[in-house]
Chain A
């Protein structure tokens, strides 16, 4: 069943119904304009772009130290011209470790979000569109999973089974899809009964046309917004697990493990907490700003508030 899970690129924009005559602008064009007018969102997007480029291109950055190269004679040094973020007790360059840590953190965030996106959108769309007993059963399952102390479950999964990166992706993605499923189902349910869908049906549109031309484009807004907010949630959870020693295992390091390592020598070398902590916090902040901006731009309900 491919209800509501077509990728955005294949979807025609929803026809505009209530626009003043003469002014022709699409839903997405409007949203784009609103988003680019939001200074915080644009700045955040720019910051995230820089972080992504640094993380992805870390290996080719000129002058960046090897994050695993130790210099025991040097030891831990505060930030200096040579080492902008200082070095840790093994003499490793903190800047390099933060950039390479970002690779893992961002990777976990994106892959975990992708898992939750695929599972959640499929689940919610099927339940919402089919309705009836199937919907009841599917949503009851979601309810039950919701009431599970899921972070405990993730901890159990990671402690009892393997602590591999793949397991981490799966565990984090699988706990994040529930809200997505609910959002998509709610959207599909309410859209199914909207007058513009009825109008399309009255005009003789087929079910497939109704779903893909009318329902899907209208669910995309909330899905995009929630996806943007899921990425920082997953990054945060990975960092949380890594902080407890359950996430990424050495020699790999994420922002979470860096903060965790730094917290142990906090009094002596505070910069080892400060820089990875700031990188993590700023990235989360920017994702949240961007998510908020997208919501304001895409959600018709809050549009009025923008003034």
Chain B
């Protein structure tokens, strides 16, 4: 199958999926007890009626649903319930760069440290260094970021005064959130790299490369790494998505104004339009990311066919 057919088919498949997500989320939010305007108990009935009218909540459910869908297609979710002066789209677009920066740095740190550690462990397979680095990696995977975050903040910010303990302002204020977010991914990518490399290092083409007299460094870095890194590549899609999720906690701990913090607050405030907007945005983002990863995969491994 050629590349464009593949992309076109995948994009077409996204449509029913997104529709399903939009529908589930819409009706779930609609069925949820308590409305967005219920918390303010002092609202007179006329005002409430006005509010409902303003947001189109007085229309029949079917009409609301169709309206929601037709607007959602244009990435328009109306004004936020909680902050009526702001459009959901604006809030998302404001928060996105912050989350993307936090996640991007974390992913970069994870790759820069995780891959070399994994290669090192694989090359020294079954040695003490291998066990030590993999034991550490497993510890890194196991410590939750909401435990690591406070501990790092206490140690590096509040005791040693190396970095600011919170907020998202100076470059140095990025260090702690990025470090907290990245640790688990460094560890996981190291484990994936090691497993991938171990499988590849035993293969015939690696033996051939050795047999023709290549130096071990060239065999490992030029020949083996290219395929050994594939598990990491396919992990990048879910990793990027999970980094966004992990950033909910990190953004909360370090008071970073990103998507995750808005989502938690929106859910608590019953800010339905913002919640729906965020969930759909996130789902789209995730699917596009997975498509890109699949494309990247075929570039790295010529044996993989687009299907």
Contact = CB atoms under 8 A, between A and B. Distances in A.
A288 B138 contact: yes
B12 to A, nearest CB: 14
Interface string A102-119: 000000000000000000
Interface string A129-140: 000000000000
Nearest to A291: B138
Interface string B262-277: 0110011010000100
B198 interface: yes
A159 interface: yes
Contacts, number: 118
Interface in A198-240: 232, 236, 239-240
Given A239-B146, A240-B249, A274-B151, A156 B126 contact: no
Nearest to B198: A305
B248 interface: yes
B78 interface: no
Interface of B: 17, 20-21, 24-25, 28-29, 32-34, 125-126, 135, 138-139, 141-144, 146-147, 149-151, 153-154, 158, 198, 202, 241, 245, 248-249, 252-253, 263-264, 267-268, 270, 275, 278-279, 282-283, 286-287, 290
Q: Report the contact-size class of chain A (Cβ under 8 Å from the partner).
A: 35 or more
A99 interface: no
Interface in A120-136: none
Nearest to A292: B138
Contacts of A263: 146, 149-150, 253
Given A147-B286, A147-B290, 19 more contacts: A40-B135, A144-B17, A147-B17, A147-B21, A148-B283, A149-B279, A152-B282, A155-B264, A160-B29, A160-B270, A161-B33, A243-B249, A259-B147, A273-B151, A277-B143, A277-B144, A277-B150, A289-B138, A307-B126
Interface stretch (A20-28, A48-56, A78-86, A279-287): A279-287
